[in-house]
């Protein structure tokens, strides 16, 4: 149900429906544009690096790719980055998902993807005010966050052709390619975490950066499906009950960790559909990925424990991703379903002991 923040009780709507749309929560100019501006710069820097690194046989061809790049519009630039990196730029931009890609390897030599404006966005007061209504005054920002830029067919083809020119593998071979830039299949976020997080009150803030409509790949949800318990294979009879959520930049969709959702395919001519999603939970509960760094985003009880410094956040990520690359991911994606609740709980507690605060993340080797 669409709700206006002024007249409906957010918490009861969220608890009942399993999701909540707050329209016009954020302001494009003040709240969203600064992040878009910096994030596009990051994408452009990565594109230049991957193009220069690519084995283009013909130097003239490389120069014309580089010369042409700034003239391209955003989806063409993003598709160029994806193609020139054989999809691996997505590993850098969205490590949380891609640490499970078979060839994931953190590249410390690239500019950090955990940019200050992203950190500031995760901590945005307007987001945290709604999160506080939904989960209470103590808020931990989960390390699980994603970026999904869904490309039209035209731009997916551009990624393929750039991969050919730059002698990269087809980006479509990448493990999570479709999930990230194509159509996200039906799932509940809860299945991607260790089982000790199943009872955590995790709220996902899904934030559109562009319009998201039925044509370009908006979010689809099955209202009240968060009450069905853990579902891995979703029967068609349930999917029949799905609805589409058409939203605009400034609106924010809050999702229960167990609500079934997916994205529609991007069937538009040349639009891209860009959204971030960030997860929040009460600090004492399990986030499902204890070996990645979250932080206290808001604490009314102990405000001094809030992490406010974006550079410390980037460094925590740097250490954690280097650690995962050097020591291996503690468990595979396929293991997730096999690990018992008890094993998961012990694993989370061990990591908590190892990393009680941000300084301890900085100490990881």
Ligand X SMILES: O=C(O)CCC(=O)C(=O)O
Least CB distance from residue 273 to ligand X, whole Å?
7
Q: Considering CB distances under 5 to 8 angstroms, the limit depending on partner class, which of ligand X, Fe ion, none binds residue 314?
A: none
The window from 183-191, 304-312, 324-332, 344-352 that contacts Fe ion (CB under 5 A) reads: 183-191
Q: CB burial class (10 A; 0-12, 13-18, 19+) of residue 185? A: exposed
List the one residue from 85, 242, 277, 285 that touches ligand X (CB under 6 A). Answer: 277
Site for ligand X in 198-237 (CB under 6 A): 219
Site for ligand X in 280-309 (CB under 6 A): none
Least CB distance from residue 263 to ligand X, whole Å?
3
List the one residue from 184, 210, 225, 268 that touches ligand X (CB under 6 A). Answer: 184
Site for ligand X in 233-272 (CB under 6 A): 261, 263
Specify the residue, 69 or 333, whose C-beta has the smaller distance to ligand X.
333
Is-contact 223 18, C-beta < 8 A?
A: yes
Could you tell me whether strands 273-281 and 138-150 are parallel, antiparallel, or unpaired per DSSP bridges? antiparallel
Q: CB burial class (10 A; 0-12, 13-18, 19+) of residue 34? A: middle
CB-hemisphere CA count at 13 Å for 128?
20
Least CB distance from residue 32 to ligand X, whole Å?
16
Specify the residue, 54 or 264, whose C-beta has the smaller distance to ligand X.
264
The window from 123-131, 187-195, 209-217, 342-350 that contacts Fe ion (CB under 5 A) reads: 187-195
Count residues contacting ligand X (CB under 6 A)?
A: 9
Least CB distance from residue 206 to Fe ion, whole Å?
8
Which residue of this chain has its Cβ atom nearest to Fe ion in the complex? 189
Specify the residue, 165 or 219, whose C-beta has the smaller distance to ligand X.
219
Residues 6+ positions from 259 with CB-CB distance below 8 Å: 18, 19, 188, 221, 222, 225, 226
Rounded distance between C-alpha atoms, residue 269 and residue 238, angstroms: 30
Q: Considering CB distances under 5 to 8 angstroms, the limit depending on partner class, which of ligand X, Fe ion, none binds residue 148?
A: ligand X
189 sits near Fe ion (criterion: CB under 5 A): yes
Sequential DSSP letters for 61-126:
HHHHHHHHGGGS-HHHHHHHHHHHTTTTHHHHH-HHHHTTSTT----TTSPPSS-HHHHHHHT-HH
List the one residue from 84, 134, 159, 275 that touches ligand X (CB under 6 A). Answer: 275
Rounded distance between C-alpha atoms, residue 285 and residue 128, angstroms: 17
Site for ligand X in 96-155 (CB under 6 A): 146, 148
Least CB distance from residue 289 to Fe ion, whole Å?
14
Specify the residue, 91 or 261, whose C-beta has the smaller distance to ligand X.
261
Could you tell me whether strands 219-221 and 2-3 are parallel, antiparallel, or unpaired per DSSP bridges? unpaired
Q: Considering CB distances under 5 to 8 angstroms, the limit depending on partner class, which of Fe ion, ligand X, none binds residue 146?
A: ligand X
Specify the residue, 176 or 347, whose C-beta has the smaller distance to Fe ion.
176
How many whole angstroms from its chain centre is CA 61? 34
Is-contact 315 362, C-beta < 8 A?
A: yes
Least CB distance from residue 68 to ligand X, whole Å?
29
Rounded distance between C-alpha atoms, residue 85 and residue 239, angstroms: 35
Q: Considering CB distances under 5 to 8 angstroms, the limit depending on partner class, which of Fe ion, ligand X, none binds residue 155?
A: none
Residues 6+ positions from 96 with CB-CB distance below 8 Å: 143, 144, 145, 146, 289, 292
Could you tell me whether strands 219-221 and 243-245 are parallel, antiparallel, or unpaired per DSSP bridges? antiparallel
Which residue is listed with tokens 């499902």?
288
Specify the residue, 260 or 321, whose C-beta has the smaller distance to ligand X.
260
Q: Which residues bind Fe ion (CB under 5 A)?
A: 189
In the complex, the residues that contact ligand X under the rule CB under 6 A are 146, 148, 184, 189, 219, 261, 263, 275, 277
């Amino acid at each position: 149900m669409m709700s206006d923040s002024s007249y409906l009780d957010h918490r009861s709507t969220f608890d009942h429906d399993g999701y909540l749309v707050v329209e016009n929560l954020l302001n494009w100019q003040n709240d969203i544009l600064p992040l878009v501006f910096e994030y596009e710069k990051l994408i452009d820097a990565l594109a230049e690096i991957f193009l220069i690194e690519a084995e283009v046989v013909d130097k003239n061809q490389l120069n014309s790719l580089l010369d042409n790049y700034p003239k391209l519009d955003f989806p063409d630039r993003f598709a160029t980055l994806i193609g020139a990196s054989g999809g691996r730029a997505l590993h850098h931009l969205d490590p949380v998902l891609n640490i499970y890609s078979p060839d994931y390897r953190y590249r410390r030599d690239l500019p950090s993807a955990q940019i200050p404006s992203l950190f500031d966005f995760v901590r945005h007061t307007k987001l945290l005010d709604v999160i506080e209504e939904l989960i209470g005054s103590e808020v931990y920002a989960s390390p699980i966050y994603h970026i999904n830029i869904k490309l039209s067919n035209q731009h997916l083809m551009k990624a393929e052709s750039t991969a050919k020119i730059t002698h990269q593998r087809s980006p479509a071979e990448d493990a999570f390619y479709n999930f990230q830039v194509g159509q996200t299949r039906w799932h509940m976020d809860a299945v991607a975490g260790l089982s000790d997080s199943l009872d955590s009150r995790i709220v996902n803030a899904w934030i559109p950066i562009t319009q998201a409509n039925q044509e370009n790949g908006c979010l689809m949800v099955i209202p009240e499906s968060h009450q069905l318990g853990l579902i891995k294979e979703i029967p068609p009879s349930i999917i029949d009950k799905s609805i589409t959520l058409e939203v605009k930049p400034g609106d924010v969709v809050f999702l229960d960790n167990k609500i079934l959702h997916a994205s529609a395919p991007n069937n538009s001519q040349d639009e891209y559909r860009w959204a971030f999603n960030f997860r929040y939970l009460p600090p004492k509960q399990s986030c499902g990925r204890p070996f990645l760094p979250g932080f206290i985003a808001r604490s009314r009880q102990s405000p001094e424990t809030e992490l406010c410094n974006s550079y410390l956040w980037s460094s925590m990520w740097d250490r954690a991703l280097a650690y995962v690359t050097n020591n291996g991911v503690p468990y595979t994606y396929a293991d997730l379903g096999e690990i018992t609740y008890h094993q998961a709980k012990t694993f989370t507690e061990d990591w908590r002991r190892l990393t009680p605060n941000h300084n301890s993340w900085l100490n990881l080797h």
